[in-house]
Amino acid sequence: MKIFVDAYLLNKEYQGTRTYIVELYKELSRKRKDIKITFGVVEQTTEIMNEFLEFDNISLYEYKEKNRWKRMFGELPKLSFLYDYMHFQYIIPFRKLNENCQYINTIHDILFVDYPNQFPFFYRISRTILFKWSAKKTDILLTVSNYSKKQIAKHFNIQLTKILVTPNGVNEEFLEDYDKKRIQEKILSKYGLKDYILYVSRVEPRKNQLQLLQLFSNNQSIYNNYTMVFVGKKSLESNSFEEYFMKLPDEVKNKVKYIEQVPQDDLVDFYRSASFFIYPSLYEGFGIPPIEAAAAKIPVLCNNMTAMEDFTFFEPYLINFEHQNIQQCFDDFILNNQSDIKGIKKEIESNYAWSTSADDLLNVLK
C-alpha cells in the first residue's frame, strides 16, 4: 500500500494541523512497515528530513509547483497514479484523474460557520464553499473531535456514519518523567522566567488572550506572585489586546511576557516549568495545548465551550469563560488549586494516544 500525504504545512509554523499529520503517520508507519508513506513538501529542509530519519518507510517528495492552488489543479491529480491513497487537510484537489486512488480528507473544524462574526467575510465564504465541496467529494472523511463531527454533519448535510473521528494525541515527550527543579532553572537561565502562568496559542480574537490578561491584571495578589506568559504567533489582528496592555500600570506590564515563537525542544520545558496553564479559547475544533500541559502534570484551567466540552477530567476547572463569576473561578484556581494532576495525566494517556488514531485510520484503509 502506498499513501501520499499533502504536507505543505511542514514548511509553515508549528500548529495543531502540522502535529496531526506528522504524529499520525509516524505511528502508522511503526505499526505497518509494509506501507510506503510519502510526504509532499514545498522544500526539503534539514529540519523536516531529520524529523523522519528513523523511518525507513517514510520518504519526502518536493513539489515542483510551489503555489498550493496550482498544485490542486495539476501536480497533485497527476501524482494520484502513483498511490493508493492521498491524504489532505481541509481541501482536496479540484479534479481526480485516477479513480483507483482514494482521497482522504481531514477537516479539523468549521468554526467559521458556527461563529461567523469572528472571521473575515471572504475567509468565511471561500472556506465554506471549498470545505463543503471537499467534504462531499472525498472518499474518506476524517475529523478530530465529536464536536467537529456533529457540526460538519449538520452544516454540510453529511451522514454522521460517514465521518470518522481520529483525535489528536499527546506526543510521548510530554508524558515522560522529568526533574522540575532542573527545568525551571533552565527556563530561568535562558528566558529569565520563573513562577509563571502559561498560555500557548496563536494570537487572534477567538483565542481570548484579552480576557486572560484582564483576569490576571485584576488581582494584585496574583500578579505580585506570578508572571503571565503568552506564547504564540500573531495570526489575526488583536488590537484590543494590545490597547488594553498599553493602558496597564507598569507594575502589571512588567509581569506580562509575550514570546512569539519558542523552539519545539524548549516548548516542552515551558510547559513543565509553568506553575499553571490557562486555556480560555472560545472556539476550538479540538484544543491540543491543555492536553499537552496536563500530560506534563501542570494544573489546567480550561474553557468548556465547543470541542473542549469533552475534557471532563479537568472538572471542577473546566468552566465557561463567559460565566459571570469567571474572575472568582480564575482567582480560586490560582490561589487554592486542588487539581488531581496524576489522575488527569492517566486519563489523557488512555484517551488521547496517536496509536489509537492510527489504528482507527488503518481500519478504513483496504
Note the pLDDT of residue 76. Answer: 98
Counting every residue written for the chain, the total comes to 366
- Residues 22-31 as b/e (b if ≥16 CB within 10 A, e otherwise) read bbbbbbbbee
Handedness of CA 200, 206, 210, 215 (dihedral sign): negative
Give the closest residue to 260 by CA, choosing from 297, 230, 238, 232: 232
SS3 234: strand
Question: In this structure, are residues 40 and 80 in contact, taking their beta carbons and an 8 Å threshold?
Answer: no
149 phi and psi, to 5 degrees?
-60, -45
What letter would DSSP give residue 10? Answer: G
Question: Mean pLDDT throughout 350-356?
Answer: 93
CB atoms within 10 A of CB 350: 10
Query: Same topology for domains 2-170+353-363 and 172-350, yes or no?
Result: yes
Strand spans (E) along the chain: 2-6, 36-41, 58-62, 85-89, 102-106, 140-143, 163-165, 196-200, 227-231, 256-259, 276-279, 300-303, 318-319
Q: How confident is the model at residue 14 (pLDDT cuts 50, 70, 90)?
A: confident
50, 18 Cβ separation under 8 angstroms = no
The pLDDT assigned to 182 comes to: 97
Q: List the domain boundaries for the chain.
A: 2-170+353-363, 172-350
Cell numbers for 197: 502562568
Which residues on adjacent β-strands are paired with residue 37?
A: 3, 58
pLDDT digits (tens, 9 = 90+) for 105-162: 999 999 999 999 888 899 999 999 999 999 999 999 999 999 999 999 999 999 999 9
Question: What integer pLDDT is reported at residue 44 of this predicted model?
Answer: 94
Helix (H, G, I), strand (E, B) or coil at 144: coil
What pLDDT does 237 receive?
A: 66
- Which pLDDT belongs to residue 236? 65
pLDDT of residue 106: 98
Average the pLDDT over 279-289 and give the result. 92
Q: How far apart are the first and last CA of the chain?
A: 9
| pTM score | 0.85
Residue 295, all three cell numbers: 500530560
Overall average pLDDT of the 193-210 stretch: 93
Percent of the chain scoring above 90 in pLDDT: 87
* CATH of the structural domain 172-350, one choice from 3.40.50.10210, 3.40.190.10, 3.40.50.2000, 3.40.50.720: 3.40.50.2000
- Give the distance between the most distant pair of CA atoms in the chain: 64
Q: Tell me what pLDDT residue 120 has.
A: 87
* Residue-level pLDDT at 238: 67
Grid cell listed for 177: 518523567
Residues 6 or more apart in contact with residue 178 via CB below 8 angstroms: 272, 296
The DSSP bridge partners found for residue 86 are 4, 103
Q: 106: helix, coil or strand? A: strand
Q: 72: pLDDT confidence band, cut at 50, 70 and 90?
A: very high
Q: What is the mean pLDDT of the chain?
A: 94
Tens digits of residue pLDDT in 232-273: 988 766 678 889 999 999 999 999 999 998 887 899 999 999
Mean pLDDT score, 6-15? 88
Give the pLDDT mean for 46-70.
95
Q: pLDDT per residue over 290-349, tens digit each?
A: 999 999 999 999 999 999 999 999 999 999 998 878 999 999 999 999 999 999 999 999
Q: Does domain 2-170+353-363 have CATH number 3.40.50.2000?
A: yes
Rounded CA gap, 125 and 127, in Å? 6
Residues 6+ positions from 206 with CB-CB distance below 8 Å: 111, 115, 118, 281, 282, 283
